[in-house]
Structure 1
Amino acid sequence: MENSYHLIIVGAGMAGLCAAAEAAAQGASVLVLEKEEKFGGSSLLSGRYMAFAGTDIQQREGIADQTEYLVADMLAVGEGKNEVDLVEAYGERQFETYQWLVAQGVEFHKVQAVSGHSVPRGHTITPLQAITALYEGAKSSGNVVFKTQAIVQRLRKNAAGRVAEVIYEHEGEILTATAENGVLLTSGGFSKSEELLSAFAPQLDGALRIGGAGNVGDGIRLASEQGAWLRDFPYLKGTFGFHPTADGPWKSQALAFYKGAIIVNKRAERFVNESISYKLIGTEALRQPDQITYQIWDQAIMDQGVAVDALYDFAKLQALGLIEQAETLEELAEKIDLPIEALNKTISVYNGDVSNGSDRQFGRTSLTHHFGKPQPIRQAPFYAMHTTVAMLATYAGVSVDRYAQVLNPYHEPIEGLYAAGEIAGGFHGAGYMTGSSLGKAAIFGRVAVQSALTKHAVL
């Protein structure tokens, strides 16, 4: 039948392209509809990390890790609000998905210790390289039709009550396509929708808006019309670590606090345990006077910068004029307009506590989560970066099960409807572990395809 496919995928970021590549390999006919002119979405703006455990890269670095540690960390960071079955499904599929991505041509460079991990397991990619490899693999199969600037307007059920029709606009025409096996929503979140952010997260009014241009919640609306239940909206949080200029063309970000920096407000006072999730830090930062905060560190921490790393390339940020440097703390305080005596006192108390092995103010015992040991800030020169909170991804959305089936309010699958990636709620819970967003996009994008083709096999 013309305009009939086994699967229709709405959105072409990491989740959608992994799904397309998986479906193509299984011989399914696929239509991928992308609203924007280019593929990638917010995946191209990500911090470049994917969370995997027990990989060859870790082994070469001498890092002992396993699935059980990864799952435990995710649940701990999520403060027990995660859907345990989803996290365990991630654990079951994570290593095989890592190997699959490598086979698809996705290049992994190294591992870093990043937010929420008890060992270094943030596997770095170059998002554009990964997106391109996945697209080219799916396209070369001949089984996948890609359409850009295709705006999905509505989903419709067939006579049997399954979601099967997609109505979309493309090149000035309103078209309808039919999915025999299922419709997969991989259309991202709503970090660029002032309407939805104001309705669901008014506490984030002060956060920068830097997500993908198409992230306005289209998929959530499409699924909701079909009866989807929503998850995790009370836990919406911004991401701490961005320079205030990040709402421009450069998404400048530094997480020096995970290398040992402290974070202070305009009174030069610490206000948080710097080792916790940058989502939780972001919540506290927005509560500070005038929402002004700075990261403060020394040369020993500066030396731990990592070139060409989205989160730790301190030298590049300094070259861009985003990091201040001074030979003394007094000079640094003057440069960034902090009270000199207060900054001296804050650093002195912190250094004393770190040297004594006990942070009396906020209980910091590590660099990030359970990894690393804080060191005193005392080696000149000293550095500071004005840092703020940004909405890059929303991590709340439609309820799904471990098979990526979208669920209704009674936890029943909505026949024919699947979701993966940022649009899917229930996975992260109250916190966020770096690398789990791209990780779950890849894992559940593939799971959705496998579920749809198995449940309603017509191949």
Structure 2
Amino acid sequence: KVYISNLFKYSRCELDPKLLDAYVEGLTHTLDWMKSLEDNSDLMVKQYAAFPFVEGAESMIYGGFHGASTGGPRLMQAYRNAVEKKRNIEVWLNSPAKRLLMTPENGVIGAEIEKDGKKLNVKAKRGVIITTGGYEYDDETKTNFNLGSPMYALGCPGNTGDGLRMVSEAGAGLWHMSGLSCPLGIKIPGHTACQAFRPRNQIGYILVDQLGRRFADEKRIEHHIGILSVNHYEGYSLNYPRIPCYAIFDQTGKERGSFAPSYGSGWLRHREKWNWSRSNDPEIQAGIVKTAPSIEELAKLINVPAENLSATVKKWNDDLSSPDGIDKEFGRIGAGEKPNAAPLQKGPFYALTIYPTLLNTQGGPRHNEKAQVLNSFKEPIKHLYVAGELGSFWGFIYQGCGNNAESLIFGHIAGENAAKETPWS
């Protein structure tokens, strides 16, 4: 509780203390509940805090299923087992909800859906629970609520903001619209989802803006809030000079392995069947990675001033070759037992074009600790509930995996409270 409260304090985002209590209480039961989804399930548990320097970080843990398949697909396997096998609940696929059905007397009474090309009005017996995810693939909503352009996505292309539109029509109050889990990533031609840029084992690279200048300690950009390092808007030139930005490597970096190793999970890998190679050669051949024999020629390929990029790389190399081996701009260390920096000296040289790429959005309908959707005056909208990243508990400083836990906790709460509602005729 201390750790999560501090994330809200540092980000100046609105925190609902009752939601925090419900979330923390739910965390104490989540691992046991996950185990109940399958017989003989095996969980891995480890300590994990995205911001280890924040007070209370030592209390945070990560839990997930062991198995040949990991991440999202493995979690979905457990959900499907619980729904379809253990309980024999019918699931309608390819049946998107379009609008909520409401009456002045009963509030939300059902939903209009589209199934097999036909519109159907589906009556709810006790309540409607919205679990549609966010708006990562809805450009209009992103443009209106978030800074940074262009902004692509890593996650499910089904997250197109439908739930946000439905609850808005029902009169929901909105919150946390600036909240994003948005790593940096790479657009892959011919594919819908992007590739995350998370070169954990690489130390010989820098990020530069469109003028060829570094702008951050590249190794201290927390993965889930990568967008905060690039959504700076230049008021004089009227542009985002870091969108896109460029990751610069040399041949030594290429020999170390993948410039952008693939997630263990994600839409690009598991649905579009695309993985970044260890050699980087297919990505070079496809033009995803630009290469040139010199820094000056590489600068021309990515359209940044050659003299600036050359000066940036020279300063980087000079700093790392100095007696202390420290990068004078942002403090990366090129010497000692655990260096996190290495010179860019051995040609050819390589560049990746980097964008903000949404993993999930947090904004949407405000809700209470019972998972009831609230209107703009913080009053419950009758028979309407929400769970997951739509109207998330989290603000824009996001603890990795926090939305998965949130979906479990508030999905459970929403189901229990909706089931207590009195059916209407």
Normalising by the residue count of structure 1, what TM-score does the alignment of the two structures yield? Answer: 0.67
Distance in 2 of aligned mates of 1:170 and 1:326: 52
Deviations 1:138-180 (CA, angstroms, capped at 9, x unpaired): 1124452211222323323457434232232323444333333
Q: Against the structure 1 CA distance between its residues 209 and 251, is the aligned structure 2 distance closer, same or farther, given a 3 Å change threshold?
A: closer
* Equivalent of residue 408 in structure 1, options 375, 381, 384: 375
1:318 aligns with 2:280: yes
Letter in 1 for 2:228: L
* Equivalent of residue 279 in structure 1, options 227, 237, 259: 227
Q: How does 1:439-450 map to 2 (within 5 A)?
A: 439-450=405-416
* Equivalent of residue 175 in structure 1, options 120, 125, 139: 120
Letter in 2 for 1:447: I
Greater shift in the superposed pair: 405-414 or 243-252:
243-252
1:222 aligns with 2:188: no
Q: Against the structure 1 CA distance between its residues 307 and 252, is the aligned structure 2 distance closer, same or farther, given a 3 Å change threshold?
A: closer
Q: How does 1:114-133 map to 2 (within 5 A)?
A: 115-118=50-53, 125-133=70-78
Question: Percent same amino acid among aligned pairs?
Answer: 23
Q: Which residue of 1 aligns with 2:67?
A: none
Is the 8 Å Cα contact of residues 383 and 421 (structure 2) preserved in structure 1?
no
SS at match of 2:90: strand
Greater shift in the superposed pair: 319-328 or 265-274:
319-328
Q: Against the structure 1 CA distance between its residues 206 and 174, is the aligned structure 2 distance closer, same or farther, given a 3 Å change threshold?
A: closer
Is the 8 Å Cα contact of residues 237 and 394 (structure 1) preserved in structure 2?
yes
Structure index of larger Rg = 2
Distance in 2 of aligned mates of 1:350 and 1:79: 36
Distance in 2 of aligned mates of 1:117 and 1:258: 19
Q: Which residue of 1 aligns with 2:269?
A: none
Distance in 2 of aligned mates of 1:326 and 1:429: 42
Is the 8 Å Cα contact of residues 239 and 282 (structure 1) preserved in structure 2?
no
Q: Against the structure 1 CA distance between its residues 289 and 78, is the aligned structure 2 distance closer, same or farther, given a 3 Å change threshold?
A: closer
Q: Against the structure 1 CA distance between its residues 445 and 316, is the aligned structure 2 distance closer, same or farther, given a 3 Å change threshold?
A: farther
Q: Against the structure 1 CA distance between its residues 348 and 111, is the aligned structure 2 distance closer, same or farther, given a 3 Å change threshold?
A: farther
* Equivalent of residue 135 in structure 1, options 80, 84, 100: 80
Deviations 1:176-231 (CA, angstroms, capped at 9, x unpaired): 33333321000122222233333334x44422255533322221222122221011
SS at match of 2:196: coil
Distance in 2 of aligned mates of 1:347 and 1:324: 21
Per the TM alignment, residue 101 of structure 1 is displaced from its structure 2 partner at its CA by 2.0
1:397 aligns with 2:341: no
Is the 8 Å Cα contact of residues 237 and 280 (structure 1) preserved in structure 2?
no
1:212 aligns with 2:145: no
CA RMSD of aligned residues (A): 4.4
1:163 aligns with 2:132: no
Q: How does 1:3-82 map to 2 (within 5 A)?
A: 68-69=2-3, 71-72=4-5, 74-75=7-8, 78-82=11-15
Letter in 1 for 2:27: Q
Q: Which residue of 1 aligns with 2:352?
A: 385
Deviations 1:17-45 (CA, angstroms, capped at 9, x unpaired): xxxxxxxxxxxxxxxxxxxxxxxxxxxxx
How many corresponding residue pairs? 381
Q: Against the structure 1 CA distance between its residues 376 and 437, is the aligned structure 2 distance closer, same or farther, given a 3 Å change threshold?
A: same
Give structure 1 stretches of 5+ with no counterpart.
1-66, 366-372
Letter in 1 for 2:229: I
Per the TM alignment, residue 96 of structure 1 is displaced from its structure 2 partner at its CA by 2.0
Q: Against the structure 1 CA distance between its residues 206 and 199, is the aligned structure 2 distance closer, same or farther, given a 3 Å change threshold?
A: same
Distance in 2 of aligned mates of 1:350 and 1:187: 49
Per the TM alignment, residue 329 of structure 1 is displaced from its structure 2 partner at its CA by 7.3
Deviations 1:355-377 (CA, angstroms, capped at 9, x unpaired): 588x7645789xxxxxxx87332
Considering Cα pairs closer than 8 Å and 6+ residues apart, tell me whether 1 or 2 has the greater RCO: 1
Distance in 2 of aligned mates of 1:98 and 1:157: 37
Q: Which residue of 2 aligns with 1:343?
A: 312
Per the TM alignment, residue 411 of structure 1 is displaced from its structure 2 partner at its CA by 1.1
Distance in 1 of aligned mates of 2:92 and 2:99: 17
